[in-house]
Amino acid sequence: MFYDIEMFREKLAGTRDERAHAIVVLTPSESKRLIAKAMLELPEVRRVREKGLLIISRGVTPAYIVEELLGDTLPKEICTAGIIADAKLATTIPRQRIGPWVFRDGALVDEPAETVMEEFTATDVSIKGANALDPEGNTGILVAGSSGGTIGFSWPLLSSRGSHLIQPVSLERLIPSVTKAYFMCGNTLFDTVMGKSCGLLPVVTSLVVTEIEALTVLTGVSAMHVSSGGVGGSEGSVILAMEGSEDTVARAYQLVESVKGEPPVLAPELARN
C-alpha cells in the first residue's frame, strides 16, 4: 500500500488543507541544539532534576544537553571518546576528554558515573547518544573497545532495573536497519579500516528523541522527515515538513529560527592509535 490509510482518509476529507503548514531545514548542529532543549522538558528528565539520579554520558549531542542544564558553553569536540573526524573513525585524546556528567537531585556532583549507576532505580535516567537510528526506532552505537564501552556496561544494568535510557539522536543518522548493520560489523572483523575498527552495538529498549519528537515536545506540532543533505556547510541537514494549527506551526517555525546559526562543532585533536 502506497498511502498511510489515515493520511489517505484525511486527504479525501480535505482536512489536511485546513491546517497550517511549514517546511524547515536544520543543520546537524542546529538539530543537536533543538533536541537538547526538548530533552529538558521530558517528564522523566524533569522528575530527576527535582529528585533522582541523572547521568549524561560522553558524546557531542549529550554535551549540548549539559550546556542547556548548566547554562554554560563546553568544548563539545572533546566531550566524547569516539568521533568521526578528518573523514575517518577516530577517538579523542583520553587526557583531554570531558564527561560523563552526574546529577543528584538536579545538582552536578563529582562522582564516578559507573559507581552512581549501581544505585539506579526504575525512575532514574541515563542519557546516551547514538551513531545510527533505523525506522523501527532501534539505535546503534559504534564501539571500538573490546568490552563494549559505556553502553556495554550500562545497557544491561538499565534494562534489568527498568531505568530510563533516553537517546537523543538526529535523523541525520538514519540507516535502513540497525540489526542488519550489526551483522556486518565487529571491531575484530574488518581487514582494512579508515581509522579505528568498530563494532555496532544495537539498542532496542531506549526512548529515542529526534528532531520530530523535539518539535512535538516543545510546541505540539506534527512533523515529518521529508529529505536530507546539502552542500556548502549544509551537509547532513534534515528537512522537516510541519503541520498543525496556525499558532502551533508559527511557534514551531520560530523555535527552529531561534537555533539557526548554531556553529558547527570543531574537529578535535585525534588520538594516534
Q: Would you state the pLDDT for residue 2?
A: 46
Domain-embedded: residue 98: yes
Give backbone dihedrals phi and psi of 206, rounded to 5 degrees, phi first.
Answer: -95, 165
Residue 234 lies in a domain: no
Please name the residue that has the C-alpha cell 541523572. Answer: 54
The answer to whether residue 100 is domain-embedded is: yes
Flag whether 265 is in a domain: no
pTM value is 0.93
In a domain, 132, yes or no: yes
Domain that holds residue 142: 28-210
Helix (H) or strand (E) holding 236: none
For the chain, which ranges sit under pLDDT 70? 1-5, 7-9, 11-15, 273
Give the model's pLDDT for residue 238: 98
CATH of residue 175's domain is 3.40.50
Q: Give residue for cell 581509522.
A: 195
Residue 187, in any domain of the structure: yes
Beta strands in the chain (DSSP E): 20-26, 53-56, 82-85, 88-91, 101-104, 107-109, 125-127, 132-133, 139-143, 164-168, 199-203, 207-209, 222-228, 238-244
Q: Is residue 160 part of a domain?
A: yes
Residue 173 DSSP code: G
User: In the prediction, which pLDDT does 50 show?
Assistant: 97
Query: Is residue 224 domain-resident?
Result: no
* DSSP code per residue over 14-53: T-GGGSEEEEEEE-HHHHHHHHHHHHTTSHHHHHHHHSSE
Q: How many domains does the chain have?
A: 1
DSSP 148: -
**Which pLDDT score is estimated for 1?**
39
How far apart CA 9 and CA 120 sit, in angstroms, is 46
Instruction: Report angle CA 146, 83, 164 to the nearest 5 degrees.
Output: 70
Q: What pLDDT does residue 145 have?
A: 85
